[in-house]
Structure 1
Amino acid sequence: MITRAVVVPHPPLLVPELVVGAAAETEPVRAATLAAAGKLPGPWVAVAVGDGGRATYVPPLSGTFLGYGVDLPVSLGGALPPDARIPLPVLITAWLRERCAVEVSRVELVPRDLPAADCVSFGQQLAAEECGLLVLGDGSTRHGPRSPGSDDERSGPFDSSVHSALAAADVDGLLGLDLELARELGAQGRAAWQVLAGVPGPWRCSGAEFFAPFGVGYHVAVWERP
């Protein structure tokens, strides 16, 4: 049974080597992410959103952040040559794994537009596994003038609702997130958060934080059994 789940973002800015000029500005989200991941027992099963359909990545597997500016290799386990085609959530899972010194069983990628009911079904399937659940996903990309997308006044209320749901371990709040609104706001984490909501509780949150450097929302939370 999954007894603890951790929600983290997966932006390249977590990796100091990729943001040399902004390492100090990005340190708070990096520190919170590493602290939360460090509380997750292994082996990890990670869930994130991919750009394609369903995909599963298992060790031995290695990748590199070359596509993000630095040839920094990371591994899910094993010593295979780095594959430059590994998706970002898998790279970040591997980067976190190396720093937390845990085993990763696999990384599951789900489609960005996976309906909430299918997310719940997948969460229910995961529930019986003996693992720590790592949930990776970013919030809206449209917070203010520094954001990658144009500013959208709906971003604040959207990520506020995500933060409130995570902080209260409110599965109904997560399941109430609108797929179309999340898409319009560039919130890639919606489906992964709803997979978490599908893992039967009860849950309580032992800590939740929200950050928005450079106009993108990043959520960090730790859920555990009461």
Structure 2
Amino acid sequence: MLVAAAVCPCPPLLVPEIASGAAGELEAARDACADALGVLAASRPDLLVVVGPEGPAGPAGPAGQDGTGTYPRGSAGSFRGLGVGLGVSLGTTAEGDRAGAAGRGLPQSLAVGAWLLSRTPWADAPVEGLGVGERLARGRCADEGRKLAARAERVALLVLGDGSACRTLKAPGYLDERADGFDAAAARALGAADTAALLALDEHVAYELKAAGRAPWQVLAGAAEGAGLGGRLLYEEAPYGVGYFVAAWS
């Protein structure tokens, strides 16, 4: 059963070593993420799953844009492709996990999640990862969430993903007049822990707006069905023309 969730954005610029001189621009977002992760730690889960966009760095083959990729405890990632020699991992590696953990690297979103977790005092709950394809249909997203919630008596999720990337002329996806409305609806749903509203987010519009968080948020919606969780929106901004949200559910 899902007992808590933290929703965070996942730009690599959250990592100060990557942001370098611009690190201060996302300090408020990092602080909000730390607060949301504190809610996760306080929930004392039996299992923590980090859920984020699979992205181009994920494993080739079955996942693709409309599937999922699983990452066992101890899976490693790095930011070397961004010019920073910083490595991360999903928790500590159990003896039996070493072969699987060495076989694939974490996608960028889960690497950011692993970095966020490394900054938070954490109980010894197993930590795993789930990469979600950008085009995974909402029904399948919800099904994946239900499966996660059923895996242990107390499950917590760290859900990573950004809103639209079309809020300004200089945004990665240029300006799209639909972006403000899409992000406002997502922020309301995340702040209210409104699973129905999250599942109502249009997957095709989300894809056109480059909103990589849509599928992970809908996994969260499936996991939270019937859990009776309340939500708080801790951060809502659009630096660089991209919608970033932080929320805590408990």
Query: How far apart in 1 are the matches of 2:80 and 2:219?
Result: 30
Q: What TM-score do the two structures reach when normalised by structure 2? A: 0.83
Size of the aligned set, in residue pairs, is 224
Map of 1:161-200 to 2, 5 A cutoff?
A: 161-199=185-223, 200=225
Q: C-alpha separation between the residues in 2 aligned to 1:92 and 1:210?
A: 18
Alignment-derived partner of residue 53 in structure 2: 49
Closer, same or farther in 2 for the Cα pair 1:151/1:65, shift >3 Å? same
Alignment of 1:32-181 (within 5 A): 32-41=32-41, 42=45, 43-51=47-55, 52=64, 53-78=67-92, 85-102=105-122, 103-128=125-150, 129=152, 130-181=154-205
Alignment partners' CA distance in 2, 1:55 and 1:73? 20
CA distance in 1, matches of 2:210, 2:244: 12
In 2: Cα distance, 1:67 partner to 1:84 partner: 15
Shift of 1:61: 2.5
Shift of 1:48: 1.4
Task: Report Cα offsets for 1:87-128 as digits up to 9, x if no partner.
Answer: 112211210121113345210112111111111111111222
Identity of aligned residues (%): 42
Kindly indicate whether the alpha-carbon contact (under 8 Å) linking 1:74 and 1:82 is maintained by their aligned counterparts in 2.
Answer: no
Alpha carbons 2:32, 2:234 under 8 Å: kept: no
User: Cα deviations across residues 186-210 of structure 1 (Å, max 9, x unaligned)?
Assistant: 0001011111111223221134421
Give the Cα separation in 1 of the matches to 2:81 and 2:121: 25
Question: Any stretches of 5+ residues in structure 1 without a counterpart?
Answer: none
Q: Distance in 2 between matches of 1:105 and 1:77?
A: 6
- Residues 1:212 and 1:122: Cα distance change in structure 2 (over 3 Å): same
Cα RMSD between the aligned structures?
2.0
For residue 6 of structure 2, what is the aligned residue in structure 1? 6
- Does 2:232 match 1:218? no
Q: 1:30 to 1:104 in 2, by over 3 A?
A: farther
Measure how far apart 1:84 and its partner are.
9.0
Q: After TM superposition, give the deviation of residue 135 of structure 1 in Å.
A: 0.8
CA distance in structure 1 between the aligned counterparts of 2:181 and 2:29, rounded to whole angstroms: 20
SS at match of 1:47: strand
Structure 1 letter corresponding to 2:18: L
Q: Does structure 2 conserve the Cα–Cα contact (< 8 Å) formed by 1:64 and 1:84?
A: no
SS state at 2:212 partner: coil
Is the contact made by 1:63 and 1:82 (CA closer than 8 Å) also made in structure 2?
Answer: no
SS of the aligned residue for 1:143 comes to: coil
Distance (Å, rounded) in 2 between the aligned partners of 1:24 and 1:105? 29
Task: Determine helix, strand or coil for the equivalent of 1:214.
Answer: helix
How big is each residue's C-alpha offset from its partner over 1:3-48, in whole Å with a ceiling of 9 and x where there is no partner? 1111111110110010112111111112111221122135421111
Once the two structures are TM-superposed, the CA of residue 62 in structure 1 deviates from its matched residue by 2.3
Distance 1:144 1:82, change over 3 A: farther
Q: Residue 82 and residue 14 in structure 1: after superposition, are their counterparts in 2 closer, same or farther (change >3 A)?
A: farther
